[in-house]
Amino acid sequence: MSGVIRGDFGVSPITGRSVNSEIASQLPVSLELTLFAMVISTIIGIPLGILAAVHANRAWDFVIRINLLVVFSIPIFVAGILLLLIGSRYLGPFYTSSYIPLSEDVVGNLRSMFLPALAISIPVSAMTMQMTRTSMLEMLGQPYITMATAKGAKQRSILYIHALKNAMPPVLTLLGFQFGILLGGLFVVEAIFSLPGLGRGLLVAIGQRDYPLVMAITMVIAAAFVIVNVIVDLTYPILDPRQKATS
């Protein structure tokens, strides 16, 4: 236990390698996959949420919400298998089935990571869109937005300067929570796409009863979730000064 406290998880009884070296080789893959998935979910979810809020209860709003509800209902393992089949059959030069490290080939790495990141980000994108829409609708109904509109402020200025900035704190909090969801999806996606990350490593370690490695990966994933949520809590007052004044 003293070694664990110092960050020394010992030696794997299966491979004979240091557990720390196993973690060091797997962590960058999972970290890159998770961050890539968060970027994709943000790029998809926030603009669609803004669009749905601007066109609330109209055609665009219903189309976006229904489509994302359908997408959200697709399990990660089903999305992963479908994307794997699509990538191998139709994408050709734009997809590679073998993992390529970022340090070796940036373009090749993106080709090997895009579909796994897309598969794991699908349910998160729907959550981001819904939270952005709800928060934007709340902000657009505030008196200061009505006053800015009455004074003749441009629609773009009202949306992106006044409403969006104040609508972001709840979305940011959700992104911190979604980081944990993405970590949970690593096990399935990394197994489907044969990525040498923590998720696949944990499944292999459980099957081999490699308990030191199982404990180490579990602690690393838990620590990553805690660290990200602490960062989110520290960032919250920057976006919403009222929280800083309250605290």
For residue 128, the domain's CATH number is 1.10.3720.10
Q: Determine the average pLDDT of the residues in 215-227.
A: 88
Q: Name the average pLDDT for the chain.
A: 83
Distance CA 189, CA 193 (A): 6
Q: What is the pTM of this model?
A: 0.83
Question: Count of domains in the chain?
Answer: 1
Q: What is the pLDDT of residue 239?
A: 64
Tokens of 9: 């998880």
Give the range of the structural domain holding residue 169, as residue numbers without chain letter: 2-246
The per-residue pLDDT for range 12-62, each reduced to its tens digit, is 888 888 888 888 889 999 999 999 999 998 999 899 988 888 888 888 888
Q: Decide: residue 44, CB within 10 A, 0-12 exposed, 13-18 middle, 19+ buried.
A: buried
Measured over all CA atoms, what is the biggest interatomic distance in the chain, rounded to whole angstroms? 71
Q: How many helices (H) and strands (E) does the chain have?
A: 11, 0
Tokens of 91: 């994408």
The per-residue pLDDT for range 90-112, each reduced to its tens digit, is 777 677 778 888 888 888 888 88
Contacts of 148 (CB under 8 A, 6+ apart): 157, 158, 162
